[in-house]
Structure 1
Amino acid sequence: MVVKTLMRQIKQYKKDSFLTMFFVVVEVILEILIPLLMARIIDLGIEARDINAVYKYGFIMFIIAIGTLSTGFLAGKYAAKASTGFAANLRDGMYTNIQSFSFSNIDKYSTAGLVTRLTTDVTNVQIAYQMIIRMCIRAPMNLVCALTMAFMINHELSLIFVGAMGFLIVVLGFIMVTATRYFNQVFPKYDDLNESVQENVVAIRVVKSFVREKYENEKFKRAAKNIYRLFVKAESVLALNNPAMMTAVYGCILLLSWLGAKSVVGGTLTTGELTTLFSYIMNILMSLMMLSMAFVMITMSFASGRRIAEVLNEKSDLVSPEHALKTVKSGSVTFDHVTFSYKHGTGEPVLRDIDIHIHSGETIGIIGGTGSAKSTLVSLISRLYDVDRGSVIVGGEDVRKYDLEVLRNEVAVVLQNNVLFSGTILQNLRWGNENATLEECQEACRLACADDFIQDFPDKYNTYIEQGGTNVSGGQKQRLCIARALLKKPKILILDDSTSAVDTATDASIQKSFEERIPDTTKIIISQRVSSVQNADRIIVLNDGVIDDFDTHENLLKTSEIYRTIYETQTKGKEEA
């Protein structure tokens, strides 16, 4: 299954793979003829004192040597093209599939683990594939041809090679089985190492603020030491490969020298044939060495291949239906007795029996304590997850009937910790609409109260944003993200605590802009601050995954104890301040 999955990614590089194997076969055939010609030069030329025979067979050997070098070069060229192309397809296939993952799919893998699979694991498979199409064709064929030619010259002396092969097969089998066990353990440790590096780099300001460099160094050293320990064990086993090979080589040379010399003296073997046997013994043993190297690399890469195949074979939990709806008629939202858990059917529900209707164009506030499932509730609108029971209806239709891309284009979500990508402000804004004009971007920024601070930058909309938006403040980042969402011109705009880093005056100004400029867009605002939601048409009060109340600000102060407590606590704090 793993091999089949990986082989599907060869695609357009099948021709290069077959050409590699073809040139390898030709190279071996030509190479195997050279010792025979050398024997002719010795027996028919040098010992017979026939210079014409030396010239004749020397010229033929020269032509064959040129052919061997040429085919070897072509085999290397096409092998490199096929293996690097295969690796590129693997990375592209994994990355493309990752983009289709739902949140529940992504939760199965760590970010560091996915990075390792896209880099280290693919490189291992690439090297192994190049060995398969080149070395694993060359070595067996060279072995068989050399052994056949040796038996044709002297079948009794050739039994020495058979004995050496048997010895090496047993030793290499032991090495492979033992090393495989260690390699299967080592690659998951790379995930831990990458995770340590990634966390440290991303959170370097926090690390330095809390003076935790020593702790982070120790964590990294532990991860590195785990890899070191397993690799030492694996490499210690692999180190047996060379002594075993040398034992076979020197043993064969000694036996062949002793028995071959007696045969030459006895007249049953010529000097040229003995020289040829020495050439073939090196061919046979070098072929075995190449096979052992290839099998070790293939063994190591099989663990990587299995990890790659896991990602390639992962199917998204959320897919568009066969005859998906291509239009969202309005921004109305209905939760029809919705129950949801992150582990469908087995997990504890985080939302229970949610039954509400939101009219198109309404402004809805959502408030509740930490962990009350506010973000989970709105994530169901754009179908980032599917419900366990009930249904979420947008524009009069169940979200499961829509094409996912169409639905998500009509539902814009701005998170509290939204991300800006490295590039200019304009490039970041155009994530919302890649064809947006400068004027449209400016208008969206004015709505989000971002245009003023952008104009203060020397390069204005061409100001470069560093990775993660580190050169803008939290409030500026949030306003840019809001502007980016507005460029989608969605029917539903969800602000998930996305004004937490701006002051209350700016927050009020943003909401006023929304009310005046996008009255037909349904606006859902999640906030911990009552001031951010109190002017909404209606407010949802969530408590531990259940709707405690759903009404206007004024009515909630009378009917909802939770809402009244939050309001009084925040109001009292302001008065004391």
Structure 2
Amino acid sequence: MIKLFKNLQPYRWTIGLVLVLIFLQSLSELYLPTLMADIVDKGIVTGDNGYIWRIGGLMLLVTAASGLFSIFASYHSSKISAGFGRIMRGKTFAHVESFSLQEFDKLGTASLITRTTNDITQVQQVLLMMMRMMVSAPMMCIGGIIMAFSKDPALALVIVCVMPVLALTIYLIARKAIPLFKSMQTKIDKLNLVLRENLTGVRVIRAFNRIEHEKKRFDEANLDLTDTAVRANKIMAAMMPMMMLIMNFTSIAIIWFGGGRISTGHMQVGDLMAFLQYAMQIMFSLIMVSMMFVMVPRASASAVRINQVLDTVPEILDRPAAKVAAKRGGHVVFDNVTFSYPGAEKPAVSNISFEVKPGEITAIIGGTGSGKSTLLSLIARFYDIDSGSLKVDGIDVRDITQESLRSKIGFVQQKAVLFTGTVRDNIGYGKEDASDEEIRHAAEIAQATSFIAEKQEGYEAIISQGGANLSGGQRQRLSIARALVRRPEIYVFDDSFSALDYKTDANLRAALKQETTDSSVIIVAQRVSTIMDADRIIVLDEGEVAGIGTHRQLMETSNVYREIVSSQLAEGEIA
């Protein structure tokens, strides 16, 4: 957690101010019992009303000053903790954005969400408590002990005897509660995972009538977290009655022994009253410390999880000598490329060699799991190859900065992903400074103008989260328009026409051919009709190249391709 607190550097002077304010507040509160003792011993006992009014007025001023110190300290400490939370969320989010897909696979999306929100909130709350309690509690405890000894050293031995009992009670309670608070964070992860799966997969759940099953899954995760929280809070609930019991017995002991010392003339009534208040201040400061002992381990567990994210070094980084890719047209060459996913038993693709030339359409086809999408991920360097070489415009992709490499690519993935906002925002996502004319042109090529025109707001129509208010084909067309608007050197379509009807598919490919005359186009498709006119077709089978050529060439040379074609097209269409 200390490692995270290094991010408080911008607030170092404000933290110093808070410490000074808390110190002054503590001094004020420690001074009040002494003033009260003076009123009793020198004012009430002697009947000096003037002295009572003067010291009473002073007590009011000290109380007001203490209140002001407390208000300003609370304001600034809240500002610091909120600012710290903002810094940490921003830093964590920015670092997660640099992750490759391997880090997302390893840490998990649900866990990353929990770490960026709940875990940072836990540390933020403890920081607020630390600035208030962890500073004031030791001051009040040490100050109270000093003032108690100054009033009556002999009676102060009562406090000395009670403190080990209090400390032992705190230790026994904290030892049982701390592991439970730590485990709660992991169980929040689990609950978040189940909830996220339910919300994103709600259509599948309803389609298969699995609502009761999912309710049961959520209830199990929810009950597990609730049981742990209840057990932890039951233990914590025992702390306050125990503390109050010890405090009350301490008060009885102080009054008992203090009364004897008053009767023998070793102590005055006002001093005994002040002594009681100092004893209570010491006890309450120890209770505050005990609360910190419970909160800090939970926050420490959260801090470990946050540091785990921040300390994760992305597998894919720009090399020190990485270059900015020049605009040359998007010539892609796979030379004996092999790649395995982390932990996989065998390579996803093996010994892949082919070439993608500007001005040509290269298609990739194959069965499910043959490695089609994997090849596209390698071009964008979402993963790094194990062996061989993958070059774009004659330069190994690992020697090009990721930003400049991806700026050359217009990527349309298999599952269309849209963002909350307008139609214009989603198309313009591909090019930040895209003009209205460029956005309209991209939509026209992507065959999206027809359904956009049907919307009352047109390009200003709101797209809900994930494009839930659009059909699958409409989402795909907007995703294609998003790639077209940036006019990249390499167009990558990962089965991006699957939700389109045959007429729209044909119109889109015809318009696309005119638009991409100077660019490289790579299309992964399941439909043979989509790729029959491609300049080059790569056939994949179980991660290996089973044939390369045009449609006619492959029909003569590739058994795998002929099987795919015959399963989709009639005799007349094949000819």
The TM-score bracket by the shorter chain reads over 0.9
CA distance in 2, matches of 1:177, 1:388: 48
Deviation at 1:347, TM superposition (A): 5.0
Which secondary structure does the structure 1 equivalent of 2:364 belong to? strand
1:323 CA drift (Å): 3.4
How far did residue 18 of structure 1 move?
2.2
Kindly provide the amino acid, as one letter, of the partner of residue 3 in structure 1.
Answer: I
Aligned to 1:59: 57
Residue by residue, what CA displacement relative to the aligned partner does 1:166-200 show, whole Å, maximum 9, x if unpaired? 11111212222221211221211111211222222
Shift in Å, 1:110: 2.3
Pairwise CA distance, 1:542: 0.6
What's the counterpart of residue 34 of structure 1?
32
Instruction: State the alpha-carbon separation in 2 of the partners of residues 3 and 12 from structure 1.
Output: 16
- Write the distance in 2 (CA, Å) between the matches of 1:26 and 1:574: 93
Aligned partner of 1:274 in structure 2 is 272
Task: Judge conservation of contact 2:362–2:523 (CA < 8 Å) in 1.
Answer: yes
Q: Which of these residues, 520, 534, 537, is aligned with residue 536 of structure 1? A: 534
Which residue of 205, 211, 223 maps to 1:213? Answer: 211
Asked if structure 2 preserves the Cα contact closer than 8 Å seen for 1:365 and 1:524, the reply is yes
One of 70, 76, 80 as aligned partner of 2:74: 76
Unpaired segments ≥5 residues, structure 2: none
Match of 1:104 among 102, 105, 124: 102
Give the letter for the 1:559 counterpart: T
Mean alpha-carbon deviation: is it higher for 117-126 or for 149-158? Answer: 117-126
Residue 131 in 1 paired to residue 147 in 2?
A: no
CA contact (8 A) 2:173 2:236 kept: yes
1:489-528 correspondence to structure 2 within 5 Å: 489-528=487-526
Q: Give aligned pairs, total.
A: 573
Select 2:378's aligned residue among 375, 380, 393. Answer: 380
CA positional deviation for 1:247: 2.2
Q: Is the 8 A contact 1:147 1:284 kept in 2?
A: yes
Residue 239 (structure 1) shift: 2.3
Alignment of 1:288-437 (within 5 A): 288-328=286-326, 329-343=328-342, 347-437=345-435
| 1:331–1:361 Cα contact (<8 Å) kept | no
Cα deviation for residue 15 of structure 1 reads 2.6
Q: Assess if the C-alpha contact under 8 Å between 1:14 and 1:82 holds in 2.
A: no
Moved more, 317-326 or 221-230: 317-326
1:482 paired to 2:461: no
Partner residue in 2 for 1:184: 182
RMSD after superposition: 1.6
| Range that drifts further, 96-105 or 306-315 | 306-315
Whether the aligned pair in 2 keeps the contact of 1:539 and 1:551 (CA below 8 Å) is yes
Normalised to the residue count of structure 2, the TM-score between the two structures is: 0.97
Q: Which amino acid aligns with 2:123?
A: V
Q: Give me the whole-angstrom Cα distance separating, in 2, the residues matched to 1:175 and 1:390.
A: 60
The CA deviation at 1:575 is 7.5
For 2:284, the aligned partner's letter is M
SS in 1 for 2:569: helix
Q: Give the TM-score normalised by the residue count of structure 1.
A: 0.96
Please state whether the residue corresponding to 2:107 is helix, strand or coil.
coil
Residue ranges of structure 1 left out of the alignment (5+ in a row): none
Q: Is the 8 A contact 2:191 2:218 kept in 1?
A: yes
CA deviation map 1:497-535 (0-9, x unaligned): 000000122212212112222211100000111111111
Match of 2:452 among 451, 454, 478: 454
Structure 2 Cα separation of the partners of residues 523 and 173 of structure 1: 67
The SS at the match of 1:160 is: helix
1:417 shift after superposition? 0.8
Paired AA for residue 500 in structure 2: V
| Cα distance in 1 between the residues matched to 2:295 and 2:218 | 27
CA gap 1:573/1:462 in 2 versus in 1, 3 angstroms: farther
Aligned to 1:555: 553
- CA displacement 1:366-385 (0-9 Å, x = unmatched): 00000011100111111111
Measure, in 2, the Cα distance between the counterparts of 1:273 and 1:466: 70
Q: Percent identity over the alignment? A: 36
Question: What SS does the aligned partner of 1:549 have?
Answer: strand
- Structure 1 residue 574 displacement after superposition: 9.1
Query: Relative to structure 2, which stretch is displaced further, 401-410 or 193-202?
Result: 193-202
Which residue identity lines up with residue 338 of structure 1 in the other structure?
V
How far apart, CA to CA, are the structure 1 residues paired with 2:136 and 2:177? 24
Q: Which amino acid aligns with 2:348?
A: V
Shift in Å, 1:485: 0.4
Q: Find runs of 4+ consecutive structure 1 residues off by over 3 angstroms.
A: 572-576
2:461 corresponds to which of 451, 460, 463: 463
Q: How do 1:193-232 and structure 2 match up within 5 A?
A: 193-232=191-230
CA distance in 2, matches of 1:380, 1:37: 77
- C-alpha separation in 1, matches of 2:401 and 2:199: 38
